[in-house]
A and B are shown apart, each in its own frame.
Chain A
Amino acid sequence: MDRHRGAVNSAAVRRHRRSPNRLPRALVVGLAAPALVFVAMFYAWPVVTLATRSFTAEAVRTVLHDKAIHRVVWFTAWQAALSTVLTVAVGLIPAYLLARYEFVGRRSVTALVTVPFVLPTVVVGAAFLALLPDSLDQSATAIVVAHVFFNIAIVVRGVGGLWEQLPTDLAAAARTLGASPARTMREITLALLAPAIYASASIVFLFSFTSFGVVRLLGGPAHPTLEVEIWQRATRLGDVGVAAVLSVTQLILLGVAVAWFARMQTRHQRTLGLAPLTQRQRPRTRRQRVFVGFTIASVVVAVGAPLVALIEHSLRTGQGHSLAAWRAVFGNDVANSNRPSLNPGLDAFASITASLRIAVVAMLISVVIGGCASLAITALGRSGRLLDVGLMLPLATSAVTIGFGLLITFNSAPVDWRGSALMIPLGHALVATPFVVRIVVPVLRAVDPRLRDAAATLGATPARAWCTIDLRITARPLLTGAGFAFAISLGEFGATSFLTRHGRETLPIAIERLLNRPGALLHAQGYVLATVLAVLTFVVIAAVEAIRVERRTHA
């Protein structure tokens, strides 16, 4: 009886709540349509094709019985596990520093820790190829070290965020109860940080497990991960069936891993009396000063060394150092000379312009589709959630799977777009659009609905109010999203590896080609391109950050 009345009431309320000042349906549908078509055509269809067309009993048998494939799966799993454990262990130190200490240059250190994470994977791979001694070349050690470098920001940001809100007196209480510093760390601090640690660890594991760019550059043929194996089989060996089965295998393994991490996270979830104020202190004792100084120095060296090595290697020639490789890439005379001994089969300079062109197109696609989708998601309210989740799916899928799916879906009838110059930007847009949506939607959701009400009382039609309020507010986050999309496209390597065409190499593809070929000058050119890519990425990210900071100070 009561329940029945409750249902009627809430339905009445909902009907009542539905504002009479709704946007025209056609407008909302029109906004949602491009995103729906985009996801259905370039994500859903390829994934379904991947799962059905190539999935044969024979391929499944091969995967189940081939010892070499078992080794690949085993290697992928243990290197990811080891990378995760090490990243967490190492990352906790700067996380502690930034959460608990106040010192000159604190913000710069925070930014510095984040630098590796914004670098394209290929640049990270190239930097460690340059830094590590030849004896570690093509070793598992090199891969794991690069993964730690690349992912450390996830731990510092994720765990540090909780750590700085954890009351310092909890540890102090444990100390007065007789717990040694080590025991306090283990039983109190780390136990309370566990949810954040598991959350960060699951992302690090995901990235390390599906690592492609780093492994292609550092692993060599001896150490393929599942992603590299999929790419090898699909593009080099023509073994599409096994590659597809491996893609699905990988999806299942990742699902299991993510579920385990999620369980650990909830198991350790606690209501914490978090302190709203940061409790950072200046180092007072000698020991604290030594710790702070040593950690800052380590961060500077750890982030700086690979980048310095990258630049240094771009200046290396057989005999010493010179600008030969830079001249070879940027100078007209050498680039056009086409000397057979120097010709790597690709035009290094052209890869820069190709990447920039592709990044512009990918950015435009993701801004238009992501922007429209964001407006539709917020206008649709509850049913917008579905569109939101649908657009996030490509983010949860490895780039290699996306590239592979696009390759086998659009390489034959009914749609043969193999030669189309749009394939690569489309693949990049698929990866970048979720970021645009994630940036724009929260801003739109934060708009006070009374603003629209006010506009309506002033005589604006719903569409007009929406144009003056929502559309205008979207401009800035959209600009930020555009920057991210551009940077993502510049560095994208996984999907591009499947879609690239000879003579149309992007920067990451060209870097990988040059560095995996013998010849000092070719290597140096690879390092030149990696340096260029790193600089381009930094410039774009710095510009985006500048916009964001400016927005925050205006608010």
Chain B
Amino acid sequence: MLEAQHISVAFGDNTVLTNATITVGAGKVVALLGPSGSGKSTLLRVIAGLLVPDSGRVLLDGVDITALPTHRRNIGMVFQDDQLFPHRTVAQNIEFGPRMLGWVKARRSARVAELLDLVGLGALADRRVTELSGGESKRVALARTLAPEPRVVLLDEPLTGLDRDLHDQLADDLAGLLRRTNTSALLVTHDHNEATTIADRIITIDAISGSGAPGAHQ
């Protein structure tokens, strides 16, 4: 179970998040809905440990991980622009996480094959990631995130910018994939349809931001 409690973030004078609290139950997929610039991505970055909050804490299965560096959290993240490593092949991208965990070669290869199969890209293992289509690239990003068996997956507007047909198909695929792998996930999006397709539960950003009891944040 993932809990983010009373998170506040400000960049200089610009307050992005005030006293935000959200919980994702084990095996659940939660969609966080809100317009762009409302601090959704900032919350994901705090949970992933990419951004230090001004106040608040992050708990994973009841353990406070607020001070833990990103690479020890075992929280996966799918970025808006995929952020595939351009100097690695499809298989090498997927293998990256397991390699960081120190898995032996045989186990890594099996995991890569399993995931390529799961996202239906078995034939593209040795392809350069710069030669992939938008949809393929998105599937590789998802496979790469799932490969090291993260405890929670964060999805930052994963389907934004794709054309309608591809978007709808990938949304279905994503929903199926997260269910099948029984992954806890927090999805950030501004698209209500996408949220209903993928998530078990939908929360709006306004609902989680405490309007700020005085003194609740420094």
- Give chain A's interface residues, CB within 8 Å of chain B: 167, 169-170, 172-181, 183-184, 188, 191-192, 268, 270-273, 282, 284-285
Contacts and interface: CB of A to CB of B under 8 A. Distances in A.
A270 B100 contact: no
B52 A172 contact: no
A273 B70 contact: no
A178 B50 CA distance: 12
B76 interface: yes
Contacts of A174: 85, 96
B27 to A, nearest CB: 20
Contact of B86 (A175, A183, A192, A285): A192
B79 A270 contact: no
A178 B154 CA distance: 15
Which 7 A-B pairs give the minimum distances between C-beta atoms? A178-B100, A177-B97, A175-B70, A173-B83, A176-B77, A271-B130, A169-B83
Interface of B: 11-12, 45, 48-50, 52, 69-77, 79-81, 83, 85-87, 96-97, 100-101, 130, 144-145, 147-148, 154
A178 B97 contact: yes
17 contacts: A167-B83, A172-B79, A172-B83, A173-B77, A176-B70, A176-B154, A177-B97, A177-B148, A178-B72, A178-B74, A181-B69, A184-B71, A270-B87, A270-B130, A271-B86, A273-B130, A282-B12
Contacts of B74: 178
Nearest to A183: B100
Contacts of B73: 176
A184 B97 CA distance: 12
Given A273-B81, A284-B11, A176 B86 contact: no
Contacts of B85: 170, 173-174, 188
B71 A175 contact: yes
A403 to B, nearest CB: 44
B79 A173 contact: yes
Which of the listed residues B48, B52, B70 has the most CB atoms from chain A within 10 Å of its own CB? B70
Contacts of B86: 192, 270-273
Given A173-B83, A176-B154, A183-B100, 18 more contacts: A169-B80, A172-B79, A174-B85, A175-B69, A175-B71, A176-B70, A176-B145, A177-B96, A177-B100, A178-B74, A178-B97, A178-B101, A181-B69, A184-B71, A270-B87, A273-B130, A282-B11, A284-B11
Contact of A176 (B11, B52, B75, B101): B75
A380 to B, nearest CB: 38
Contacts of B81: 167, 169, 273
Contacts of B49: 175
Nearest to A178: B100
B32 to A, nearest CB: 18
B112 to A, nearest CB: 13
